Amino acid sequence: MKSRKTLLSNLLRPLLDEWGPDDVRAALEKLVLQSERDGQRSYGAAKSQSERNARPTAINLVESLDLENERKRPLAVLAKRFDDKDFLPSIADVREFIIMAGERPPTMKNRQDSFRNLLRVLLRLSPERLQQVADAASHAGPAQLGPISDAIAAAGERLPRRNHDPDR
C-alpha cells in the first residue's frame, strides 16, 4: 500500500509545482463532484482483488466490438444466452460447436474464457446465418442443435478442410 501512496505523491508533486495547491485542489474537487453527479464509482475506493481479476462476460466482449447492428444484435443475444448458460452450456458444447465450424478448437480451461474462441467462429458467419443461430431455440443438448448445426455446416463448407475424406 505504501508504494501506491508514494506513486500518488510522486504524481501530484509536478502538478503542485506547476499550478499550486489551490488550483490543484479546486480541479480535484470539480472532478470528484462531476463523477458523483455522473454516478461513477467514488475516487479513492480501490478495486478489490476480485474486481481486478474479473474476466469480462460474453456480453461485455460483444459490447466492446465495433460492429454494424445487423451483426452486433444477434451476437448480443447469443452472448446473453451464453452468460445465462442457455447457449452452449458446457465447454464440451463450445468445443463441439467450433469443430462443427471446421476448426480445431484450442485448449479451453474454463467456459467463460471459451467465449473468445467461440466469438471468432461466430464473427465469420454471415449476418443472415448469425441471425439464424440467434433465433434458434436455446439448446440444452444435441436434440436441439439442428438449426445451429445447419448454420455452422454452411459456414464450414467455405473453409478448406485438412485430412477430410468425404467417402468416410
pLDDT digits (tens, 9 = 90+) for 54-68: 778 999 999 998 889
> pLDDT tier at 149 (50, 70, 90 boundaries)?
low
- Please indicate, yes or no, whether residues 60 and 8 belong to a single structural domain of this protein: no
Statement to judge: residues 113 and 133 lie in one domain:
yes
pLDDT digits (tens, 9 = 90+) for 62-88: 999 888 989 999 999 999 999 999 899
Decide if 162 is inside a domain: no
User: Whole-prediction pTM value?
Assistant: 0.54
Is residue 93 situated within a structural domain? Answer: yes
Q: How many domains does the chain have?
A: 2
Q: Are residues 41 and 60 in the same domain?
A: no
Is residue 44 domain-shared with residue 88, that is, in the same domain? Answer: no
Q: Can you give the residue range of the structural domain that contains 141?
A: 55-157
Would you list the DSSP string of the chain? -HHHHHHHHHHHHHHHHHHHHHHHHHHHHHHHHHHHHTTPPPTT-PPPHHHHHPPPPHHHHHHTS---HHHHHHHHHHHHHHHTTSSS-SHHHHHHHHHHTT-PPPP-SSHHHHHHHHHHHHHHS-HHHHHHHHHSPP-SSGGG-HHHHHHHHHHHHTS--SS--TT-
